[in-house]
Amino acid sequence: MQNVHPSSVVLAGIAALSAGALGLALIAQWGFDLWPCLLCYWQRPAYGFTLVLALLGLMPAVDANSRRQIALLCAAIFAVNVGLAIYHVGVEEKWWLGPSECIGNVGEVTLEDIRAALNTPGRTGCTEAAFRLWGISMAGYNVIACALLALGCVWAARKPQWWTN
């Protein structure tokens, strides 16, 4: 078996962890009927972006220095998602208000609006956590996961021997 370049291992790890996070979110939604709120949906694209970037970085034409830049870009994306997840935790804990879509706008409601709402899957509001484990909501775990991923990407990017051809 030929040697695997460390930069490939880093990007494969980013891709695998990003895919795993998206998979867990979909399993929670469809398998356990834990329907996401608007802020939950907003946190998913970061994993999709990092998954795609990492997979693109694994292409043979991409040199090691460019792979390092991709790892740093993934770190930045994860860091932004930490901020969004912290905001979501604050809304769940009622430290501050969420977007108006989360708390609902009372406006004109027609009979057709009510029928459409009854025929769509349930969804929690942003102020109520769909699930908690040891007192931490899924958004709270997303804060932890994205912070660790961002720190891990930066740590790996600071290893110069990993990013040479």
Q: Please write the tens of the pLDDT for every residue from 69-113.
A: 988 999 999 999 998 888 878 877 777 666 666 655 445 656 675
10 phi, psi to nearest 5 deg: -60, -50
37 C-beta neighbours (distance < 10 Å), count: 23
- Residue 146 reports pLDDT greater than 60: yes
Count: domains in the chain: 1
Q: pLDDT band at 22, cuts 50/70/90?
A: confident
Per-residue pLDDT tens over the stretch 1-12: 467 777 777 888
Per-residue pLDDT tens over the stretch 41-58: 778 888 999 999 999 888
In which element (H, E) is residue 14 found?
A: helix 6-26
CATH number of the domain that residue 100 is part of: 1.20.1550
pTM: 0.75
Residue 154 lies in a domain: yes
Least confident residue range of 34-38, 53-57, 61-65:
34-38
The per-residue pLDDT for 77 is 93
Residue 1 lies in a domain: no
Closest of 23, 15, 74 to residue 44, by C-alpha: 23
> Domain range holding 15?
6-163
Residue 155 lies in a domain: yes
Q: Which long-range contacts (CB under 8 A, 24 or more apart) does 12-18 make?
A: 12/54, 12/58, 13/152, 14/50, 14/51, 14/53, 14/54, 14/71, 14/74, 14/149, 14/153, 15/50, 15/51, 15/54, 15/55, 15/58, 17/149, 18/47, 18/48, 18/50, 18/51, 18/54
